[in-house]
Amino acid sequence: MEQKEIISWNAPEYVHVQKSVDWFWALGIITVAGATATFLLGNILFSITIIIGAFSLGLYGARKPKNQEIEISRKGIRVNGKIHFYSEIQSFWIDQERNEPIILLQSEKMLMPYITIPLGDMDPEIIENVLGEFLRQEMHYEPMPYRIMEHLGF
């Protein structure tokens, strides 16, 4: 059975912050210092882990955000083809205190308790009215790891 789309929009998965050459130099210096220190302390495995982690961080930092297709339907919220059913979501909040407003969904899943969805150019009041038909609105704060990553430019 086909689900009827109520509202849809496109938005980048995150706000891209251009990393400067200095950012990559700082990442390299911190990586070399950390890997050297752990190597000298005899923890070779942790040293290798630091290098692999920094390499991954550098690749992720240079990557541009992908455009997401977001749909709200009567069954749930679909982000790039992955549906989050209303039955798996406890509540929602629209955080408008940021430069780019987001929808915060509190999920019942242990490994992914919060789902953030960018609003892009959508009017937050329209989204609030539509989601209010299906979910309870409750104030949520963006989790600390999300805020730290955003502060670091991710």
Statement to judge: residues 37 and 101 lie in one domain: no
Selection from 85, 118, 123, 90 nearest residue 105 by Cα: 90
Statement to judge: residues 114 and 138 lie in one domain: yes
Q: What is the pLDDT of residues 39-63, one digit of tens each?
A: 999 999 999 999 999 999 999 889 9
Domain that holds residue 57: 21-62
114: CATH: 2.30.29
Statement to judge: residues 91 and 112 lie in one domain: yes
Mean pLDDT of all residues in 109-123: 86
Statement to judge: residues 29 and 85 lie in one domain: no
Mean pLDDT: which of 25-39, 51-65, 69-83, 127-141 is highest? 25-39
Q: Is 81 exposed, middle or buried (0-12, 13-18, 19+ CB in 10 A)?
A: exposed
Statement to judge: residues 136 and 74 lie in one domain: yes
For the chain, the domain total comes to 2
Taking the C-alpha atoms of residue 71 and residue 77, their distance in angstroms, rounded to an integer, is 6
DSSP of 110-123 = SS--EEEEE-TTS-
| Model pTM score | 0.74
Segment holding 136, helix H or strand E: strand 136-137
Statement to judge: residues 88 and 146 lie in one domain: yes
